[in-house]
Chain A
Amino acid sequence: MASLLNNPTVRGIAFQIVFVLVLGWLVWDIIDNTARNLQKANIAAGYGFLDRTAGFGIIQRMIDYTEASSYGRALLVGLLNTLVVAGLGIVFATILGFIVGVARLSSNWLISRTATAFVEILRNIPLLLQLFFWYFVVLRNLPGMRERMTLIHGIDLNIGGLHVPRLVPGEGLWLVAAAIPAAIAATAFVTNWGHERQDRTGDRPPIGTINLALIIGLPVVAFFIAGRPLGVDFPVFNETGPLLRRGFQAGTGLTIIPEFIGLLLALSLYTATYIAEVVRSGIQAVSKGQTEAAHSLGLRAGPTLRLVVLPQAMRIIIPPLTNQYLNLTKNSSLAVAIAYPDLVAVGGTVLNQTGQAVEIVSIWMLFYLGLSVLTSAVMGYFNKRAALIER
């Protein structure tokens, strides 16, 4: 008996059995309580409510949606809104983050100090506060609904948002659409040929230039062949008439709502400070000898950074960068504070109307978990490509 009780394997198994039992009891208890509470409150469990009419309006929608659409559709609208703001936020934050990260290492005292100040100020202030600041403070200082501030011809700003021309697809656009994959296929072919040639002759054909020309050129040629099948719908601005009729007319042009701009701005700036730190430490991790060797080979500062330091730094940068991208996506749920209708905001409204707490929270969790699994998979792929290949 004693030897049995002191046997690590036996004890391990026994502990795990107890662990599973306790965990199972806890989960069962929660499910049981939930079911009973829902029954008591007269709330039907299940996803049937998704087909019911939503009845509320949503200010930004990528797909057709009216008050008569279903809850399910409303959630889909919110989901797409999340994806758009997170996607654009990632692009802007990356660009800004790389610039600031490199700037922090600049030999110019003023540049590096400004970059440091930018990072230290913005990353030590809560994102929600920054969001409120950008939204409510900047909102107050924009021209009113019946006025406008013209940035470039056709692009105007007022409190209703950024008004830009909208592109209207015409007939024959499929030709342009088809040209894009064709161009990508062609670049793959050119790259392959270029590498082969380099291996054979040591000569390096200008693959980059050719590829760029292909990617831009083919669709442009297709566009003109198809007879320019793309209309432009400019936003219409009325200066006369009753006050409510003045200003930008609904349904003309494309309006980027201020909630979107505020959220994008706050997310990009905040995440950029983190990305800047990632980039800086990545670059600093590249041995100084590499830079010195590049300099002694006669490379200037720019090419040294681009061709020698950054490619090596990328290996260190990518994993934490992935994390920042995920953080940005998760942080986009703060949209709920400034009325940007993302998945969490729309879900919250649906939750309040239907009382289906379990279902809505499960939809949120599935979405964000799915997204984080997907992002780590994609980044894992890039990481693998950038990894040092050692013999």
Chain B
Amino acid sequence: MYRTIASILAGAAMAVTSFASAGAGTLEDVKAKGFVQCGANGGNLIGFGATDENGAWTGIDVDFCRAIAAAIFNDPTKVKFTPLNAKERFTALQSGEVDVLSRNTTWTMSRDSSLGLQFVGVTYYDGQGFMVRKSLGVSSALELSGAKVCTQTGTTTELNLADFFRSHNMPYEVVAYEKNEEVLQAYEAGRCDAYTTDASGLYAERLKLTAPDDHMILPEIISKEPLGPAVRQGDDKWFTLVKWTLFALLNAEELGLTKANIDEKKTSDNPEIKRFLGIEGDFGQAIGLSSDWAYNVIKQMGNYGEIFDANIGPSTQLGIARGLNNLWSKGGIQYAPPIR
């Protein structure tokens, strides 16, 4: 019977070790398993990462992962989503549970250095704001002295909040919850005067309130919150691929390439478009993909502007204007290096 135990253990050990992947580069792993594992927002953040009643994912962060899948496999459905909350997102990426973290995560120095992450760029320029009840009669964040503020723990928000109130010498109380749902329930119940998170998040969360029109978002933006996808440190090839997928989305918008017109543009004489579509040069091979990778991304997902408009733009229920997220040529700061 000692031996039976030993054999059970041996069997278990074999079963466990057999799951181990080869441990080569992320791109090779992704190609081998046939899909991209993407860390998305588990808290149903409308417009960024959310699921509907049937479990289908929507949002700008989610679409970015689909764009990566389109670049690699020419099939945006070859992606699997892992819903993550704020506290566990970094561990999930560090441990290799997800290949890319696209979950409205703020790019900061400490995260880029000591947490073992590497941000590839910015998909959405955001800033932290406050939502209050209209009945409070406050029109500026600077009038919030003495307020009780609800927020989610484990975020940059919590720290920015402390900085903001301290630098303006205003007293405040913070009530920090574990999950988005709880913050919202508590704010709705009246536990706090103000609810703070990224401004985009405020617009999304306001929709979930019983009476959205009774609440307003204050004009002040108290921090820089560049939200972007991140990958693990130490895999430059994968990092480059994800980074250039983002740049391809931006470049496409700048070049006027859309989902609808990209096939016509194949005949274009513009050398920039030719390079983009892989007709001239083989930029795709340099990042381990086929030369029409960028074409595939745009054909399947559309350019950055299209993704923005479909998920959070003025025609959606969120109705967020492009603002900072417009192209540099149109008054925003979204700017991508050229494909050349």
Contact = CB atoms under 8 A, between A and B. Distances in A.
Instruction: Consider the complex of A and B and state whether they touch directly, i.e. have CB atoms less than 8 Å apart.
Output: yes
B26 to A, nearest CB: 14
A56 interface: yes
Interface in A11-43: 15, 37, 40-43
Contacts of A40: 94, 116, 233-234
A258 B90 CA distance: 31
A42 B162 contact: no
B190 A159 contact: yes
A348 B153 contact: yes
A56 B138 contact: no
A224 to B, nearest CB: 38
Nearest to A14: B2
Given A145-B193, A339-B177, A349 B136 contact: no
Contacts of B191: 139, 159, 258
Given A15-B2, A57-B174, A250-B171, A139 B114 contact: no
B193 A337 contact: no
A144 interface: yes
B49 to A, nearest CB: 19
Nearest to B147: A244
Closest CB pairs A-B (n = 5): A41-B116, A352-B154, A57-B174, A67-B162, A140-B189
B176 A339 contact: yes
Contacts of A43: 114-116
A111 interface: no
Interface residues of B, number: 47
15 contacts: A55-B162, A57-B176, A59-B174, A243-B137, A243-B138, A250-B173, A258-B191, A259-B175, A339-B175, A339-B176, A339-B186, A348-B178, A352-B90, A353-B159, A355-B115
A101 B96 CA distance: 52
Given A136-B185, A244-B138, A349-B154, A56 B87 contact: no
A353 B108 CA distance: 12
A244 B189 contact: no
Interface in B154-186: 154, 158-159, 161-163, 166, 171-178, 182, 185-186
A351 interface: yes
A7 to B, nearest CB: 15
A44 to B, nearest CB: 8
Contacts of B143: 242, 244
B148 interface: yes
Contact of A56 (B137, B176, B186, B234): B176
Contacts of B233: 40-42
Interface in A237-262: 242-245, 250, 258-259
Contact of A244 (B115, B145, B186): B145
A345 interface: yes
A282 interface: no
B173 A59 contact: yes
Contacts of B87: 348, 351-352
Interface of B: 2, 86-87, 90-91, 94-95, 113-116, 135-138, 143-148, 153-154, 158-159, 161-163, 166, 171-178, 182, 185-186, 188-191, 193, 233-234
B196 to A, nearest CB: 12
Contacts of B2: 15
Contacts of B136: 243-244
A56 B174 contact: yes
A379 interface: no
Contacts of A349: 153-154, 158, 176
Nearest to B116: A41
A80 interface: no
Contact of B172 (A57, A160, A352, A353): A57
Given A243-B136, A258-B191, A351-B87, A338 B158 contact: no
Interface in A79-109: none
A70 to B, nearest CB: 14
Nearest to A22: B9
Contacts of B158: 56-57, 349
Q: How large is the interface on A (under 10, 10 to 19, 20 to 34, 35 or more residues)?
A: 35 or more
Contacts, number: 117
B146 to A, nearest CB: 6
Given A41-B116, A139-B186, A355-B114, A244 B172 contact: no
B174 A244 contact: no
Nearest to B114: A42
Interface string A158-183: 01100000000000000000000000
B116 A339 contact: no
Contact of A136 (B113, B114, B186, B234): B186
A16 to B, nearest CB: 12
A40 B90 CA distance: 14
A8 to B, nearest CB: 12
A57 B160 CA distance: 11
Contacts of B173: 57, 59, 250
A212 B319 CA distance: 70
A357 interface: yes
Nearest to B152: A339
A51 B200 CA distance: 35
Contacts of A351: 87
Contact of B189 (A42, A139, A345, A348): A139
Nearest to A138: B189
A336 interface: yes
Interface in A345-381: 345, 348-349, 351-353, 355, 357
Contacts of A337: 178, 182
A144 B115 contact: no
B137 A339 contact: no
Contacts of A136: 185-186, 189
A355 B176 contact: no
A104 B12 CA distance: 49
A348 B152 CA distance: 12
Contacts of A353: 154, 159
A59 B234 CA distance: 39
B182 A160 contact: no
A270 B153 CA distance: 27
Given A56-B176, A339-B176, A349-B176, A145 B190 contact: yes
A145 B194 CA distance: 12
Given A244-B138, A337-B182, A355 B90 contact: yes
Nearest to B88: A352
